[in-house]
Structure 1
């Protein structure tokens, strides 16, 4: 399939609270370099800025980021600020807090509830904003998220945050959060080759409650933060050939076919891959193709 003229509008729209976003968004993690959270080769700054600007030109209005997305020479938030400020009125920037990396890039102890305000303010500073559109609380292994989410809800009441989400959670954690404040999105690792039944349940619950489900690593598969997987099942390859699409585009199309509340935030520092990712929003799988792919996800 050709991708030059396809925009993110082809993927449809969902509302994060009162903020309408295209279902095909952009994840900023890979803008900082070749090794995600580790000390790899820094990205080319000019190209990263160009990719962000091209994403907006292609109709992307949902960008996912975090203050802990940085490498030795690059910060995703700083790149977003440089490339896109003053921000378009319809652009929604979603960030996440909870995990923390020190200035050397090493993971530090996760934030305590009383430290979350400082993390929000750091994102505000880096992005050049007076409030954050959406903040996800990333669970960092704790059994209960009530105390952390309650602290974040207070920042929402103070006007620093417009909407709240949660990440890396099970249904019980979502229930905890909803008892405290509205939740507009859930971010979990999930994709075609995922076998996490707890997250399958989260996807279902989000659909019932009108909450966006935003999977990360939907294209990466087992490769995770290291890049898109090259290990594709024969069914994925066959469907890709039928649509003259790439396997990555089929993975994204499958993701978007899981329900109108399911979004996608593929990330890349490559302008060609960006156009391909956006074009995946126009892939329309047949019922038979979707059934074959669903069988890969559910397994025997």
Structure 2
């Protein structure tokens, strides 16, 4: 009964998301910018990074088709009818904005990784597919939380600069759609663990895989993308409190995978990923600070 109740609540949430948050029309935004050079210097790189990440949603859908061959209707509705249409519009709008700032268009990474293909080959085995499903939900929760925090910072910064048009009609509408995505992933992962879908060995495997494969949003296992994320961390001030940020983006998996580890405020691999990105940026850079 608990499992049925959880599934019904998640299905209702997905339906509400689709009804209340249609994709943002391109012609609904006001791209008025008072000081393009100042916006470019402060947020240009971060806007480019987020545009690329949002535009990579089509690859993310391909990955889901590989990892979850027997996906249920609720998940299929979420990623094909709600999440993908919303995210692709986010990417298109942000990419147009960064071109208004005089930057080059985003270059999304569209290749499905070899690791995903290997895991997908095993996903026809139901126990493995269940682990992959939990990993998908945990990744989604972490990445959506990262997106919300980034958009909060950008919105506040743009308003400080007097750039209210792009803050109110671009960043804020995008920001308002991301928490619903986070809620879906959080509810879905929580239901899998709390309803006893996974056996102890599956949870152990999920911990091992998560520890070995965790990556920050948009890094794609690539050193250049990790360095680019390091610059985002510096531009948004995340680097001044990496532990606090790790706690924010790791709450869901800390609760679901690591609650048995008393005193662990967040999974250590999240902080390692953050430090790696910041260190890579500081070592190799990612273009001049005003680029």
Q: Does TM, scored on the shorter chain, surpass 0.5?
A: no
Structure of greater relative contact order (alpha carbons < 8 Å, 6+ residues apart): 2
Please give the range of the TM-score, normalised by the shorter of the 2 chains. under 0.3
TM-score by length of 2: 0.25
Q: Give the helix-richer structure, 1 or 2.
A: 2
TM-score by length of 1: 0.25
Q: Which has the larger radius of gyration?
A: 2
